[in-house]
Chain A
Amino acid sequence: MNKMETALHELSEMDELASRSSPVHKLGPTAKLISTIIYIAAVMSFGKYRLSALIPMLLWPVLLFQLSGIPVRTCFYKLRIVLPLVLAMGLFNPFFDREPMLYLGSAAVSGGVISMLTLMLKGVLCLMASFLLMATTPIDCLCASLRRLHIPKMLVTLLLLTYRYVGVMTEELAVMTEAYSLRAPGQKGIHISAWGSFLGQLLLRSMDRAQELYSSMLLRGYHEHFHYAPMKPFSAADGIYLFGSTALFLFIRFVDITRILGSRFVR
């Protein structure tokens, strides 16, 4: 399998992860979507120096990983391309904010280092939450929930079709890179001189395939309205999950658990 085929395989694995059965998978998509949004908002609202207070927010994704039976390593493996970008956030903070904030023994830790670590942790937590949502909810159900939340039809259809077309484009890319590598033995990647025509061809081929897919949809009665997966009514379990998770986020957000625990053990 070349890199593109691996990417395609991984993309399709997301659909399979989402179709598994677990207590988390069984929850209604709307409850999961809302709680994820609240979680991300709560994480993002932490102050830039509140690293220790942010750590307990890890509890929620860890709990969901356990309940859903999805290994944490799958998450980090699938996010390996985005993670470095997230970790690069705030990389320059230590250079701009040199004010010492705490001392570890005799070593001073500047505010810049703390804010950098806080930013990194925030990014990782948001990615984990988004991954969990995608890995436990089929895309159709997610789109149906977005519609239920009155997100415009056009945006939701765009999201769904983009998700589908990414696969089409990756398939074309897989075929093209394989054809290229077979005629360029020993070459690593695509030579820069071929990038222009390669991308042009990829665009044209993807457009052709997308057009054919769209024709296939039209011929089967599509008229700008998707029939998403049936929505289960908002159940008691959904309510408990949503209420419980929101309460947990608010508790962690406004009560500095680590400080309280720390003050009990450290004088």
Chain B
Amino acid sequence: MIEFKNVSFAYEKGRSVLSGVSFKIEKGEAVGLIGANGAGKSTVMKLLLGLIRGEGEIYVDGLEVKKDNLPEIRRKLGFVLQNSDNQMFMPTVCEDMMFAPLNYGLTRPEAEKRVDAVLERLGMTELKYRHNHRISGGEKRMAAIATVLAMEPEAVLMDEPTSALDPCNRRAVINTVKELGQTKLITSHDLDMIMDTCGRVILLSGGRIAADGPSDQILTDRELLEANRMELPLSLTPRP
């Protein structure tokens, strides 16, 4: 579904953010992308979505990420931004959710039907006509996920989906993410969430892949994590 072949990127000459990154994500796989600040996680996302161009080759469902293919690639990928305020720019949740389906040629009744189905599935039908600035942070995060699901993407990319959420809302987001059947690529510092939702983890460090393997192997390897400025998930940290 997603393939990076020897991808490198530098915002400035000589200051490389990613160097020679290669990995492959199969359809239906849930992958956590972890790493310390500045490790290159967001850059991976931006490259994948074609928001920036680097060296090397990136493929989404067999299509190379390049200008001509961007509309088709972006239709396959749903991206949930870290800051939901930046994702929700229409007045109401419903209008925000209809934004993508309408852009992809659905009629208004078809788009609304899709909105209803997604809201029903996420158990948040009461939010449909609520104003975006009148909903809480947790509701906004769920609504941001809903806007992406209304696109019916083949893969869902998420940037820190549980940041700044209270435990209850965090749990709601985790349960929703777990139930998604699509291919998932999630960047987060919330390693417990990654352990809960992803079967595989890619650990980035200094723009390179430091480890790639099953979550229960990587996330329990204290030495590996600490060598890459990370810590064991809180749930695995021994209490004094």
Residues of A within 8 A of B (CB): 8, 12, 15-16, 19, 138-140, 164, 167, 171, 209, 212-213, 215-223, 225, 227, 230
Contact = CB atoms under 8 A, between A and B. Distances in A.
Contact of A216 (B77, B81, B108, B131): B81
Nearest to A218: B74
Nearest to A12: B133
B151 A16 contact: no
Interface string B35-55: 000000000000001010000
B103 A222 contact: yes
Interface string B104-122: 1000100000000000000
A213 B131 contact: no
Nearest to B77: A219
Contact of B91 (A8, A138, A215, A217): A138
A9 to B, nearest CB: 8
A213 B86 contact: yes
Interface in B108-160: 108, 131, 133-134, 147-148, 151
Contact of B89 (A15, A16, A139, A213): A213
A50 to B, nearest CB: 41
A227 B87 CA distance: 17
Interface of B: 49, 51, 71, 74-75, 77, 79, 81, 83, 85-87, 89, 91, 95, 98-100, 102-104, 108, 131, 133-134, 147-148, 151
A220 B99 CA distance: 7
B68 to A, nearest CB: 14
Contacts of B108: 227, 230
B91 A15 contact: yes
Of residues B86, B147, B151, which shows the largest number of chain A Cβ atoms within 10 Å of its Cβ?
Answer: B86
Contacts of B151: 220-221
B131 A223 contact: no
Nearest to B95: A140
Contacts of B99: 217, 220-222, 227
A218 B49 CA distance: 10
A212 B81 contact: yes
Contacts of A212: 81, 83, 86
A26 B217 CA distance: 61
Contact of A209 (B79, B86, B133): B86
Contact of A221 (B75, B81, B89): B75
B75 to A, nearest CB: 7
